[in-house]
Structure 1
Amino acid sequence: MTRRRVLSLQRAGRIIRQGNTNSDVHIYRYVTKDTFDSYMWQLVEHKQKFISQIMTSKSPVRSAEDIDETALSYAEIKALATGNPHIKEKMDLDTQVAKLKLIKSSFMSQKFELEDKVLKYYPKQIAQLSVRIKGLTDDIQIVSQYPKREDTFYTMTINGLPYSEKEQAGKALLDMCQKMTSPEPISIGNYRGFEMDLSFDTFSKVFNVALKGNLSHKVELGSDVFGNIQRLDNALEGISKRLDITKENLEETKKQFEIAKVEMQKEFPQEEELKTKLKRLAEVDALLNMDKKDHEGAEFGGPDESEVQPKKKNEMER
């Protein structure tokens, strides 16, 4: 923890400590314009941005280097003290470049995500939805062979025995539930052209019947004899609606697929601006570095003339 941070905490601690009789307290921070303070506050700003990115996960930044006060070079301190305008420009450029890099990082992250979807996700989704549409269409053909009628109950076979009465079929179905010794699915019979598998959900504590045609249609059972038969009929009659929903999902997925293929080809719209600012920042850094070298040259010049040893006479003659 820096000394500046420690002093800030101590100052606040004296205000809020026990024994303070003031109900309202104002804390002031004084900053001197066009001085070293502006650079120090910029460092604190950068630190806070990195901390916020990590804590909120709003930025795709993968790593962040800590910015310490010692990063300020002697040349920069001298420039601040002498009012070098390049320092202000550097501070502005640092902020602008950091912002543009953050925007570009987010842009590239979204672009890579789109590329992954174009290569894997969308083709897989389209294939799965197409297979599901084919299965639902075939199951509708099976249902059409046993159309629902108010006065007709199609024979239900359970454990090898046929039941032509709705009440007897419902009781046999509940009896199979009571006889189950394992939650694993077991084949118990067929109804309206679909095979029936019975299973027990240990988490929800309910029995389920899967009506299996080309696809499997899950139905949760209750305790009512006639209610369970109605649930099975509703599941079969609802296949047409599920087919319509699946077709809509397929069309929407195809549209998103085409949009993603176009979007993934786009380049970062502020690339030229970023390059220009990076180039200027490098130039400003070079100017500040030249100031530093000039300063070193002035302080550490060549040897004093009084220290130069005169050459011997015989050396001069040679």
Structure 2
Amino acid sequence: MEQRSGRIVRQGNENPKVDIYRYVTEQTFDAYLYQLVEGKQKFASQIMTSKSPVRSAEDIDETALSYAEIKMLATGNPYIKEKMDLDIQVQKLKMLKSNFLSEKYGLEDKVIKFYPQQIAYLKSRVEGLTKDVETAKLHPKPIDEQPLGMMVSGVSYSEKAEAGQAIINACKSMNSPNAIPLGEYRGFQMELYFDTVQRNYVVKLKGETSRDVPLGDDSHGNIVRIDNGIERFEEALADTKNSLENTEKQFETAKQEIEKPFAKEEELRAKTARLDELNILLNMDKKENEIVGGEPDEGEAVGGRKEKSYER
């Protein structure tokens, strides 16, 4: 038997029903082999990945779809070809919708929890930094011959060198990395602690908010660093205001995005409906395929036993 232009050409005295059965079996077997390859590729291409830290397998991916497209070529039935083509398109659309819903649920979670909490935190920080900036302006940095007015370990110092050396002495006397009270300067409380990660001593300036100032070995330079840390409260206020404005914009955008439907919902619904029609038409919902025209030949009884025929 051979196939020409979509028709089955029978050779010799072959039984036509055997020819049809053989042709259908060969085409079904080819499609089945491609289906196996598709199934293996579907998971292998997703699990065998270098992505970290989680590896996951979706229902369908782009590489597996190419195998499904090859599988369509293994059959000559136009309805089966249409069904396989729709299978691919529906799977792609479902994958897009799954990604869309995943992003939507993530945005909904942010709208309910993250953005309100973040906005509340940033507003509170803006209020605190505003007060700290006002405190710094009320206690400007000493210039020229003005006394320093720094309190270190209960002693007031008017000279930078003496105050800086007192801070270094406080560092040397520490026997624990935990924070201890150090003193007061320009309206801010000062704490001293040892950063075990960076391996250096740090002065924490505390007002309504706080700022860490790493210390060095130079006594005069440490006073300059503390002054610069106080001046940066105004810079931190401007950055926090910008963050608050951006977060509020993102919050409004996220609320609008979660209201949008899946853009290709109608296309998915239409193609799914057509796919259901094809499944019914091709009787694909049955667990076992039936061979059309599978009646026993003349002289062949049920069960495979042949009855004797007698000539008259």
Q: Given the two structures, how large is their TM-score scaled by the length of structure 1?
A: 0.73
- Give the structure 2 partner of residue 225 of structure 1: 219
Q: Contact 1:80 / 1:87 at 8 angstroms: preserved in 2?
A: no
The one of the two structures with greater contact order (alpha-carbon pairs below 8 A, sep at least 6) is 1
For 1:48, the equivalent position in structure 2 comes to: 41
RMSD: 3.6
Which of 134, 137, 161 is 2:127 aligned to?
134
Residue matched to 2:104: 111
2: CA distance, partners of 1:171 / 1:294: 93
Q: Which amino acid aligns with 1:97?
A: V
Aligned-partner Cα distance in 2 for 1:127–1:190: 30
Quote how far apart the aligned CAs of 1:273 are.
0.8
Is the Cα–Cα contact under 8 Å of residues 60 and 106 in structure 1 kept in the other structure? no
Aligned-pair distance for 1:45? 4.2
**AA at the equivalent of 2:233:** I
Q: Please give the residue correspondences for 1:249-264 in structure 2 after superposition, counting only pairs within 5 Å.
A: 249-264=243-258
Pairing 1:48-197 to 2, within 5 Å after superposition: 48-54=41-47, 55=49, 64=59, 83-151=76-144, 152-197=146-191
Task: Give the 3 Å change call, closer, same or farther, for CA 193–281 of structure 1 in structure 2.
Answer: same
The aligned residue for residue 274 of structure 2 is 280
SS in 1 for 2:127: helix
Give the equivalent residue in structure 2 for 1:9: none
The 5 Å alignment of 1:228-247 reads 228-247=222-241
- The answer as to 2:280 corresponding to 1:289 is no
- Which residue matches 1:271? 265
In the TM superposition, residue 280 of structure 1 has moved relative to its aligned partner by 1.4
Runs of at least 5 residues in structure 2 that lack an aligned partner in the other structure: 1-26, 61-70, 303-312
- Equivalent residue for 2:294? 299
Counterpart AA for 1:161: V
Distance in 1, Cα, partners of 2:243 & 2:84:
51
Cα distance in 2 for residues equivalent to 1:102 and 1:134: 46
Q: Is the partner of 1:269 in helix, strand or coil?
A: coil
Normalising by structure 2, report the TM-score.
0.74
Q: How far did residue 154 of structure 1 move?
A: 2.5
| In structure 2, distance between residues paired with 1:173 and 1:124 | 38
Counterpart Cα distance in 1 of 2:281 and 2:166: 91
Stretch deviating more after TM superposition (125-134 or 40-49): 40-49
Shift of 1:98: 1.1
The answer (yes or no) to whether the contact 1:61–1:102 under 8 Å persists in 2 is no
Structure 1 unaligned segments of length 5 or more: list them.
Answer: 1-33, 66-75, 308-318
Say which SS state the counterpart of residue 208 (structure 1) adopts.
strand
Gap change, CA 1:87 and 1:57, over 3 Å in 2? farther
Q: Tell me what 2:307 maps to.
A: none
Report if aligned partners of 2:142, 2:148 keep a CA contact under 8 Å in 1.
no
Q: Encode CA deviations 1:37-61: one digit per residue, 9 max, x unaligned.
A: 5664465345434433443669997
Aligned partners of 2:284 and 2:142: how far apart in 1?
A: 94
Q: Which has the higher mean CA deviation after the structures are superposed, 54-63 or 36-45?
A: 54-63
1:284 Cα deviation after fit: 1.6
Aligned-residue sequence identity (percent) comes to: 48
| More moved, 37-46 vs 108-117 | 37-46
Greater helix fraction, Structure 1 or Structure 2: 1
Q: Supply the distance in 1 between the matched residues of 2:82 and 2:237 (Cα, whole angstroms).
A: 63
1:205 aligns with 2:162: no
What is the CA-CA distance between 1:239 and the residue it aligns to?
0.9
Whole-angstrom CA distance in 2 between matches of 1:290 and 1:177: 81
SS of match in other structure, 1:299: coil
Q: Is the 8 A contact 1:111 1:264 kept in 2?
A: yes
**Which range is displaced more, 290-299 or 185-194?**
290-299
Q: Distance in 1 between matches of 2:259 and 2:57?
A: 23
Structure-2 separation of matches of 1:149 and 1:291 = 87
Cα separation, partners in 2 of 1:134 and 1:35, compared to 1, 3 Å: same
Q: Per-residue CA shift, 1:263-306, capped at 9, x if unaligned?
A: 000110111111111111122222222797884564368xx999
Q: Within 2, Cα distance between the matches of 1:275 and 1:61?
A: 27
Q: Is the 8 A contact 1:146 1:154 kept in 2?
A: no
